[in-house]
Structure 1
């Protein structure tokens, strides 16, 4: 299950990441991340990269659309 734009925004805020920090960690441009968070058109591969970075940081994405935060793994 890929995350929604709202989940991306919530997770980034919960982890205290700026747009620039998350974009850099995911290897994408700030403009691309802005499109993701604005519910714009991006590839599932790009969205998956962002989701992985957020998950590694401790974000937990729930099927009901909510986001939780756990201690990071590793």
Structure 2
């Protein structure tokens, strides 16, 4: 949800986070990735304005990361 709300394609987010498109697909699907990888992706999304809440929801305050 955060990726789409920020207007990022899988390829754009993968490049920014330094991970593969397949890895992002796994995160968006079953979430089966290492915590280190997930942290890298979350950091990029947070820099773009995503807010990860304790209840598991995600808010977005768009800021361009391109």
TM-score interval for Structure 1 and Structure 2 normalised by the shorter chain: 0.7 to 0.9
CA RMSD, 1 decimal: 1.0
Q: How does 1:1-74 map to 2 (within 5 A)?
A: 10-70=1-61
Q: Displacement, 1:65?
A: 2.3
- Give CA deviations for 1:36-65 in whole Å, capped at 9, x if unaligned: 111242110000000000000000011222
Q: Displacement, 1:69?
A: 1.5
Provide the TM-score with structure 2 as the length reference. 0.84
Corresponding residue pairs, total: 61
Unmatched tracts of structure 2, length 5 or more: 62-66
Q: Displacement, 1:30?
A: 0.2
Unmatched tracts of structure 1, length 5 or more: 1-9
Q: Displacement, 1:12?
A: 0.3
Distance in 1 (CA, whole Å) between partners of 2:35 and 2:47 is 18
